[in-house]
Amino acid sequence: MRNVTYNFLQAEHAWMIVSDQLQQRNNMLAKSISHMERSQSELPMASRLIILRYHLKMSLRQLALEARQQRQNLQNDSQLADQWMHVHQLFFLLRQIDNELGRATTENNILRLWVESLEGRVYRSALVHLN
């Protein structure tokens, strides 16, 4: 049984926040793809978003697999450091997704207007929570 400390709770809270943010981006990408697929002229952007969503899902699967494998081989002392490393990897993935989605909205007016029309809390930044 692991000793629960404030540091472990902090790491767990950070993991929950970044996981929630990644889920929001996944939902945002799914809705964006559906929106862009409505118009024949927007199919190239829809394809780009599909690839971005695929990258998100495959990266999450890989990181989750690595985290599970590492947990089986760790001592208690290094569990906290590895948990924080996993949080930082997820946060890096979140930033990649945000950068690519930001680039796509800059390049495509229809996507940008649609994203701007969404409620602000749907696409909030995790930076506030993780810093």
CA-CA-CA-CA torsion for 79, 95, 52, 115, nearest 10 degrees? 130
Q: What pLDDT does 16 receive?
A: 93
For the record, the structure tokens of 52 come out as: 């971005």
- In sign, the C-alpha dihedral spanning 25, 52, 97, 56 is positive
Measured CA to CA, the distance from residue 22 to residue 94 in angstroms comes to: 6
Condensed to tens digits (0 to 9), the pLDDT of residues 51-86 reads: 999 999 999 999 888 877 777 666 666 788 888 999
pTM above 0.85, yes or no: no
Using the 8-state DSSP alphabet, how is residue 39 labeled?
S
Contacts of 130 (CB under 8 A, 6+ apart): 14, 17, 18, 87, 91
User: What tokens were used for 95?
Assistant: 């930033």
At residue 57, the pLDDT reads 94
What is the rounded distance in angstroms from the CA atom of residue 20 to the CA atom of residue 24?
6
Mean of all residue pLDDT scores within the chain:
85
pLDDT digits (tens, 9 = 90+) for 37-55: 999 999 999 999 999 999 9
What does the pLDDT read at residue 128?
Answer: 46
